[in-house]
């Protein structure tokens, strides 16, 4: 058994970006299984991940989609838990969630559960992974589900990107083919298919190719004990070693070149947006040997300088640098999101080939400069606790399959032959074939309908790179010479400025502070305005990250806001520049950006719950008392290692950067209760969502709607998928729009008509909407307790700052501001929420369900049908 030294547990957790006070330890069991435990004292939920080092490049070409089908089949019953929907019902009852994914070389299953469910959750996860039943009748039905999923994803640009990317690979390599899986690729013989699944599982689901990761508040020692006990249940003898190595893991790349692609004709978009990806493939062993050097190189390319350079001549919306873009294996990648592929000024008749060549030359020059410069230290790791266990599990199984190679050459010299212009491949997503270069003929991939053409800028065009520009300068201001202290509270409140200062404090080794600013703005154009603002702040956001600063910008029906967090001496510079970009955005007369639809139609519908006007909203019913004060032009909250007097001075500076005009009315826009909205067609599926809003935006309404979603989700999914057979997408999801609670009952179907699905949703609510809500007192108390745990103290500092900030925005705009001289903080929002939860009773949930069924709550239908 290999165990990390206990003395390293705190340091390892810090390096991996876990919150202060966390502990981390990994172990390899005698059967070869890798396990990792992370104790995060502030974690409200338990995260469990099981990963296997097998993906779609390992499956036989005669059964493309087999790895994906096996991932689905894992959830159809196992030895100890044979029920077909047993896991989903158990997780739903606990108020948790689960998901799984299959990638090129890895498969993972992840569960989010209450901490008390650790032992049973781990037992279910291990049984699911290692002892699936693979019942033929269930498998045959799941092939139909997979086929529906495949057809739905034919409307997703992500699938067409992978199809086009394959044109850069060697002929015959499995990565060139589509591995999503459907009725055709998985064959017509159900018996042989099940045999293939059993064989694939025996070959690859072996303990030495697997990893289990747990993150939660449980003590590290308890987590390790659970992981070891369940991990030893995976018997190495039960799995036969693989008799072959899939050549899909060998080098996939053809000769360096470029490929342009666009969506099938039926999905063609008039949007001018495009994406250009530059890729430099890297040897797997070399990349794993020097991860910190590569991370530093990526940080240099994303420090704001390249973004500033490109934005002088192009409508650059996004610039991402990664070391593992989806579908490319190990490679350095630069992804450019472009509002339109034409210059801002100058010669508008420049050919597309010239524009592409300029973009490529500028990125190549930036890489050349980075390789010559002294690289910065890798950026500070800030981990998303939801994603962290999954990334760790995938890392463990990947490393387990590849013994570490020893490279004696320094990394700069070792990568010199790989990070050159001659080794670059590029992929351009253009809006339509009409944007083609010259007379190059477009081709169509038969299976997916993806249109593509191979491009080569040879003989090389004599195009120069754009002159490099420096990243936005983040100035540092000296701390005030005299300290002036004040108790946390409201330092000022008038019609121009409301300034809150102080609280909460967290233990930290370094000075850190945060500024949150919000101001009223036109609620009808907030989505487009935010997109423009984020585009203008792209280089600033990257420059801030290079200084370990966080900059977030937001906009909703209450107004616009920003958050800056990090070194207190540099925050004023970041805030002032972000406000300057917002002021420029208000005067921006550029055409509205129209982005092509991405993802599943159901995902698009659920996103509408967070951005569209609330159906039938009439304002908050929160009771207030006191003397009303006008809404201020600027609301500020400063906290951390920041002097109160300095905060006051800086807040006045910030207020002077905003226009002095009457604030906008900030109530959410009201729309008719029975409104029906049709989405712009995307693909061939039908989709329907019933959007139901709470009566108000109080914590009570938010919690009751969350409980309704928990009660309805599993039954709704079963009714729509199994009983009606509509397709693989059917769910009840809770969302919020500017704090306003909303439920979405969403179904996506490849064959049922919109009206059929709509009637089925109505029938479900009439038949089961109320009957599912009355809970036994014990069950209700348990659900309430789990909801209370999920709403408890913040898990991370950033979450805590955001929760307090949004509560302050809500109170400032809705409630009565206290007088400055006696103002103090009320209880934290999470403590207030706990009081609301403690007051709920089972009859409250029944009453809300009844109101939902009789349609007394605001509602709206969202519909989608093919062209």
3-state per-residue secondary structure call for 572-621:
HHHHHHHHHHHHHHHCCCCCCCCCCCCCCHHHHHHHHHHHCCCECCCCCC
List, in sequence order, the alpha helices (H) in 302-350: 305-311
Q: By mean pLDDT, which of 359-363, 421-425, 626-630 is the weakest?
A: 626-630
Give the DSSP letter of residue 477. -
Q: Which CATH class is domain 489-600+619-656?
A: alpha beta
Percent of the chain with pLDDT over 70: 86
Give the DSSP letter of residue 716. H
Beta bridge partners of 563: 516, 552
Give the pLDDT band of residue 72 (cuts 50, 70, 90).
very high
353: CB partners within 8 A, 6+ apart: 437, 438, 457, 461
CATH topology of domain 31-244: Cytochrome Bc1 Complex; Chain A, domain 1 (3.30.830)
Taking the CA atoms of residue 413, residue 415, residue 420 and residue 422 in that order, the dihedral angle to the nearest 10 degrees is 110
Helix, strand, coil distribution of the chain in percent, nearest 5: 40, 20, 40
Quote the tokens at residue 717: 């999914």
Of residues 450 and 84, the one with the higher pLDDT is: 450
Q: Is the predicted pLDDT of residue 815 greater than 50, yes or no?
A: no
User: H/E element holding 518?
Assistant: strand 513-519
Q: Is the predicted pLDDT of residue 294 greater than 70, yes or no?
A: yes
Integer-rounded Cα radius of gyration of the chain: 28
Judged on CB neighbours under 10 Å (0-12, 13-18, 19+), 754 is middle
Give the pLDDT band of residue 641 (cuts 50, 70, 90).
confident
- Which pLDDT score is estimated for 455? 85
Beta bridge partners of 689: 746, 862
Q: By mean pLDDT, which of 53-62, 64-73, 140-149, 481-490 is the weakest?
A: 481-490
39: CB partners within 8 A, 6+ apart: 22, 23, 24, 216, 217, 218, 219, 220, 223
Of residues 618 and 570, the one with the higher pLDDT is: 570
Q: What are the tens digits of pLDDT across the range 581-640?
A: 999 876 664 544 445 556 789 999 999 999 888 886 544 433 333 334 456 789 999 999
793: CB partners within 8 A, 6+ apart: 42, 44, 800, 830
Strands 210-216, 34-39: pairing kind: parallel
Q: By mean pLDDT, which of 47-61, 99-113, 170-184, 665-679 is the weakest?
A: 665-679
Strands 107-113, 46-52: pairing kind: antiparallel
Going 305 to 308 to 310 to 312, the CA torsion angle's sign is negative
Of residues 684 and 300, the one with the higher pLDDT is: 300
* The CATH number fitting domain 258-385+409-455, selected from 3.30.830.10, 3.30.70.380, 1.20.140.10, 3.90.1150.10: 3.30.830.10
CA distance linking residue 50 with residue 199, whole number of Å: 20
- Which of 513, 382, 509, 500 lies closest to 796, judged by CA? 382
Of residues 236 and 841, the one with the higher pLDDT is: 841
Q: Is the predicted pLDDT of residue 111 greater than 90, yes or no?
A: yes
- The predicted model scores a pTM of 0.91
Give the DSSP letter of residue 721. I
CA-based end-to-end distance of the chain: 60
CA distance linking residue 237 with residue 519, whole number of Å: 64
Q: How many CB atoms lie within 10 A of CB 261?
A: 23
Domain boundaries, the chain: 31-244, 258-385+409-455, 489-600+619-656, 676-799+819-864
At the second CATH level, the architecture of 676-799+819-864 is 2-Layer Sandwich (3.30)
Which strands form 97-102's sheet, in the order they lie side by side?
Answer: 2-3, 23-28, 34-39, 210-216, 46-52, 107-113, 97-102
- How confident is the model over 229-237, as a mean pLDDT? 84
Angle between helices 136-153 and 190-204 (to 10 degrees): 90
Q: Is the peptide bond before 459 cis (omega within 30 degrees of 0)?
A: yes
For residues 273 and 337, the answer to whether their CB atoms sit within 8 Å is: yes
Q: Is the predicted pLDDT of residue 393 greater than 60, yes or no?
A: yes
C-alpha distances (whole Å) from 49 to each of 126, 211, 213, 256, 448 are: 10, 8, 5, 37, 32
Half-sphere exposure of 439 (CA within 13 A, CB side): 0
Q: Is the peptide bond before 504 cis (omega within 30 degrees of 0)?
A: yes
């Amino acid at each position: 058994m290999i165990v990390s030294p206990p003395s390293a547990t705190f340091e390892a957790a810090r390096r991996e970006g876990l919150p202060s006070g966390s502990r981390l330890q990994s172990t390899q069991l005698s059967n070869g299984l890798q396990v990792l435990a992370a104790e995060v004292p502030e974690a409200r939920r338990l995260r469990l991940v099981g990963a296997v080092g097998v993906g779609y490049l390992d499956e036989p070409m005669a059964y493309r989609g087999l790895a994906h089908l096996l991932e689905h089949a894992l959830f159809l019953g196992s030895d100890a838990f044979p029920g077909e929907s047993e896991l989903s019902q158990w997780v739903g009852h606990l108020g948790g969630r689960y998901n799984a994914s299959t990638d090129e070389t890895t498969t993972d299953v992840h569960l989010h559960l209450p901490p008390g469910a650790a032992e049973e959750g781990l037992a279910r996860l291990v049984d699911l992974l290692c002892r699936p039943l693979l019942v033929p009748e269930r498998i045959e039905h799941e092939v139909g589900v997979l086929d529906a999923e495949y057809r739905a994803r034919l409307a997703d640009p992500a699938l067409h990107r992978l199809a086009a990317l394959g044109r850069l690979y060697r002929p015959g390599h499995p990565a060139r083919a589509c591995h999503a899986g459907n009725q055709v690729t998985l064959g017509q013989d159900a018996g042989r298919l099940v045999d293939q699944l059993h064989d694939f599982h025996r070959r690859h689901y072996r303990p030495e190719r697997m990893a289990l990761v747990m993150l939660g508040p449980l003590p590290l020692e308890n987590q390790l004990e659970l992981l070891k006990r369940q991990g030893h249940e995976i018997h190495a003898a039960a799995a036969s070693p693989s008799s072959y190595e899939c050549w899909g893991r060998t080098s996939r790349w053809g000769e360096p070149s470029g490929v342009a692609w666009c969506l099938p004709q039926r999905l063609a978009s008039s949007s001018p947006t495009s994406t250009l990806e530059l890729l430099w493939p890297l040897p797997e062993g070399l990349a794993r040997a020097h991860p910190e050097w590569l991370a530093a190189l990526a940080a240099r390319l994303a420090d704001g300088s390249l973004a500033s350079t490109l934005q002088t001549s192009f409508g650059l919306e996004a610039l991402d640098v990664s070391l593992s873009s989806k579908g490319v294996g190990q490679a350095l990648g630069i992804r450019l999101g472009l509002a339109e592929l034409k210059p801002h000024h100058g010669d508008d008749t420049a050919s597309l080939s010239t524009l592409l060549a300029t973009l490529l030359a500028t990125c190549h020059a930036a890489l050349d400069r980075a390789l010559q410069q002294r690289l910065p230290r890798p950026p500070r790791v800030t981990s998303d606790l939801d994603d962290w266990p999954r990334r760790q599990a995938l890392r463990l199984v990947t490393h387990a399959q590849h013994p570490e190679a020893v490279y004696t050459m320094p990394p700069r010299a070792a990568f010199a032959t790989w990070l050159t212009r001659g080794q670059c491949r590029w992929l351009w997503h253009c809006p339509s074939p009409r944007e083609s270069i010259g007379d190059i003929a477009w081709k169509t991939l038969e299976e997916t309908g993806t249109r593509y053409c191979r491009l080569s800028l040879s003989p090389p065009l004599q195009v120069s790179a754009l002159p490099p520009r420096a990243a936005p300068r983040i100035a540092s201001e000296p701390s005030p010479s005299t300290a002036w202290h004040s108790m946390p509270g409201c330092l000022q409140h008038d019609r121009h400025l409301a300034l809150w200062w102080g609280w909460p404090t967290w233990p930290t080794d370094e000075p850190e502070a945060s500024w949150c600013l919000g101001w009223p703005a036109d609620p009808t154009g907030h989505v487009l305005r935010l997109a423009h603002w984020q585009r203008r702040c792209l280089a600033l956001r990257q420059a801030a990250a290079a200084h370990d600063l966080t900059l977030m910008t937001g906009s909703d029906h209450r107004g616009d806001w920003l958050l800056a967090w990090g070194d207190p001496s540099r925050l004023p510079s970041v805030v002032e520049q972000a406000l300057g970009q917002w002021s420029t955005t208000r005067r921006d007369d550029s055409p509205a950006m129209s982005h092509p639809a991405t993802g599943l139609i159901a995902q698009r519908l659920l996103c509408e719950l967070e951005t569209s006007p609330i159906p039938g909203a009439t304002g908050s019913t929160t009771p207030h008392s006191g003397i009303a004060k006008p809404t201020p032009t600027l609301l500020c909250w400063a906290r951390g290692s920041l002097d109160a007097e300095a905060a006051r001075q800086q807040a006045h500076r910030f207020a002077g950067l905003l226009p002095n005009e009457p604030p906008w009315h900030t109530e959410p826009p009201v729309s008719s209760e029975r409104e029906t909205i049709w989405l712009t067609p995307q693909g061939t599926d039908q989709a329907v969502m019933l959007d139901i809003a709470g009566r108000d935006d109080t914590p009570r309404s938010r919690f009751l709607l969350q409980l309704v979603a928990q009660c309805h989700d599993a039954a709704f999914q079963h009714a729509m998928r199994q009983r009606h057979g509509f397709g693989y997408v059917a769910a009840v999801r809770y969302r919020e729009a500017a704090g306003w609670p909303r439920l979405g009952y969403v179904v996506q179907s490849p064959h049922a008509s919109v009206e059929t699905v709509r009637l089925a949703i109505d029938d479900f609510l009439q038949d089961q909407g109320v009957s599912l809500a009355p809970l036994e007192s014990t069950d209700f108390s348990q659900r309430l307790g789990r909801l209370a745990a999920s709403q408890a103290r913040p898990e991370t500092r950033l979450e805590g700052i955001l929760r307090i900030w949004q509560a302050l925005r809500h109170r400032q705009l809705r409630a009565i501001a206290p007088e400055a001289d006696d103002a103090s903080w009320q209880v934290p929002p999470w403590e207030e929420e706990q009081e609301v939860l403690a007051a709920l009773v089972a009859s409250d949930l029944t009453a809300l369900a009844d109101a939902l069924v009789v349609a007394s709550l605001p509602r709206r239908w969202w519909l989608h049908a093919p062209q």
